[in-house]
Every structure is written in C-alpha cells, then in structure tokens.
Amino acid sequence: MKKTVIVLLGIILKTSGLSAQSSYIIKGSIPSNIKAVKAVMAYPPDEGFEYISDTVKVVNGEFEFKGKIRRPQLAEINLIQTKPAKEDPANNMKNVGLVYLDGDIKVIFDKDGMATYQGGGTEQKYWEKYQTKLLGDQKLLNGKPAEMSFFEKVINGFVLENPDCYVSVDLMDLFVQGAIRPNVVKPMYDALSSRMKSEPKVVAWKKRLDEALSFQSGTIKAQDFTMNDANGNPVTLSKYKGQYVLLDFWASWCVPCRAENPNVLAAYNKFKDKNFTILAVSLDEKKADWLKAIKEDKLPWLQLCDLKGGENAAAVLYKVSMVPDNFLIDPNGNIVDRGLRGEELEKRLSELLK
C-alpha cells in the first residue's frame, strides 16, 4: 500500500488531533463490467487541508484498506479504470463511495458504479442516518434545486438530534468556512455534547463564533474607506452615517451571491423608505462582467469595485475571505450584525426598523 498526499476537493471536512485511536477495515467488491485496476481512498488529515490518500490494487474484483486514525473520518473511495468511463452529468457519484473510517465495512459497487454499504461502526450508522434524512427531505423539494437554507435546516435538525457524534461536527464544517453566521452555528454548537465541544476543531470554531457574536453587540466601529463606483466617482462609506447601511460584499462569478441577490433586493424594497440603504462592494476583476451582473440581477443600489478581485481594498480591510458576506451598520457607524442572508436579513431589519 502506497501512501501519498493529495488535494481533494468536494468533501467539506477537516479535523485536528494527534494519537491514532480508531481502527478500520474496508473491503470492496467490483462487478466484472467495471474494469478498475486501482482503488484510491482519501480522508482528511489531523491538520491542514491536504487530504491523505491510500492506493491499493484491485485483484479479481476486490480491494481492501485498513489502518488506524485518531478518530473516525469521512473517506472518499474512487475506482481507477484502465480506460476512463464516460462522464455521466446526471450522477457525479458514479464509481465513488463515501464511508466513515470506523470498524469493518463492506463497500459493494453495482454494475452502474453505485456503491452500497454493509457493516461499519457507530459513525457509519450516523452517516447513513443523515443520508436517509437528506434524501427524504430532497424528495419534498419536488425537483427544485436545494439552496443553502435547505441544508441549514436539514443539518441543524440532525445536529440537534445527534449531538454526540463526529458526523454532526463534520457536517457543521459547511457553516464555518469564511465568516460564521451566529444564527446558524450557535444553536448547533450549543447542542453539541461536551465530548464534541472538546474536539480541537470545535474549540477553534468557538473562538470564531465568539468573534462573530461580537458583531451583533454594536460595539465594533465600521472602518471607513473610499472606492470608485461604476462611473469612476469616489464614494466614502462614512457619507452614509445617519442611516442603516448593509455593506454587501459579492461578485458576478459567485453563484451563492447571485442566488442571494433576490433576497437582498426584497429586503431593500421593503425597508428602503425606513432609513435603510445598501452599499455593495464587488470582488470582480473584469468591469464588463461586474456591470452585466448588476443589470441582470436588477440591483438598484450603489455599486463599488476597484477591480482587484480578492485583493479588493475594502474586502481586505474588513477581512472578507469568502463571498457572499455583509455587515449591517447602524446610523452611528457601528456594526450591529454580519453575514445576514435570506429571512435572517429581513428579520433583523424588522427588529431595528420598527
């Protein structure tokens, strides 16, 4: 078995810790029509972002991984074929298995490359429980795409019902990338067992959660800046003092930003006559793309951009690492909230603009 380190995108999990405590044996079987020669298993490291990968040969349609890690982790198993199979846009999980490295588990691929599982430890059972819940709730969407609010609801419910498992902690990773939204993360954090709260990565989250909560205190002053609008005219944030201002960070290339724009527009139309406005800062690099998105999304508020992408001066000043992100600023120039989306934004504005 050869061990290497690779970067694996698509799984949103990483952990930290030291000693190996969880043993696993994964035995896989592959039908004869899938001409796989190798199986690759990748899982999160204890520290950092590069995933650890084990590669084994497939012999007579079978393969096996075994080892020990500090705690159960979600691992991805991919089959490497002699000739790459044609991609199936309708199912990007083909020839891929997702299992928790916990106990003895059998991974069985069918002739279509879809995996099913037998056995496994406690965390694998929790993972299968989540998958069942997720698929059931997705059916209720009747074919509509699942938005972030959907996953927030599903994962929140799972964590509250299962506060003492690594699956809950790992699922929460989805909401701690970039700026933490306290209204989403705090209820789940509070529900976690003391065992899970002592996990190194959860301890690290707590510091960032406390920082995020501080933005709701009204004690942090909004930092002033000046940036040009689409016509090249300089605009200074402090000129809006006396109003509630949503400082909105976004970009034309950001799919979640574009999906959120209708919600922001709805809030703007509802509260624009109640001493509320929006000042947007784009992390675009190409002016044409920026202006096209403004037009397509029908955004009426003032837009600023220095065309420096992720190095946008205002984004650097406000430590914005991912978009969408926003800061709600009161008439005195103090930040009173951050990262408001969807119904959260309207609810917060309703509280402040009675």
- With a CB cutoff of 8 Å and minimum separation 6, the contacts of 276 are 243, 244, 245, 246, 268, 349, 353
Three-state DSSP state, 19: coil
What is residue 85's predicted lDDT score, i.e. its pLDDT? 53
For the chain, the helix, strand and coil percentages under 3-state DSSP, each to the nearest 5: 35, 30, 40
**Percent of the chain surpassing pLDDT 90:** 73
| Digit-coded pLDDT (tens) for 143-153 | 888 888 899 99
In the chain, where are the structural domains located?
Answer: 2-120, 131-214, 220-352
CA distance 60 to 51: 28
2-120 under CATH 1.10.150, yes or no = no
Least confident of 35-49, 193-207, 211-225, 310-324: 35-49
Higher pLDDT, 11 or 228: 228
Stated as kind and residue range, the H or E segment containing 281 is strand 276-282
What is residue 83's predicted lDDT score, i.e. its pLDDT? 65
Please compute the mean of the pLDDT values over residues 318-334 and round it to a whole number: 94
Stated as kind and residue range, the H or E segment containing 348 is helix 342-352
Q: Which pTM does this prediction carry?
A: 0.75
pLDDT band for 154, please (50, 70, 90 cuts). very high
Contact 252, 292 (CB under 8 A): yes
Three-state DSSP state, 7: coil
At residue 36, does pLDDT exceed 80?
Answer: yes
220-352 under CATH 3.40.50.2020, yes or no = no
At residue 92, does pLDDT exceed 60?
Answer: no
Q: And the tokens for 21? A: 């405590």
| Digit-coded pLDDT (tens) for 39-61 | 999 998 766 667 889 999 999 99
At residue 155, does pLDDT exceed 80?
Answer: yes
At residue 185, does pLDDT exceed 50?
Answer: yes
Contact 80, 39 (CB under 8 A): yes
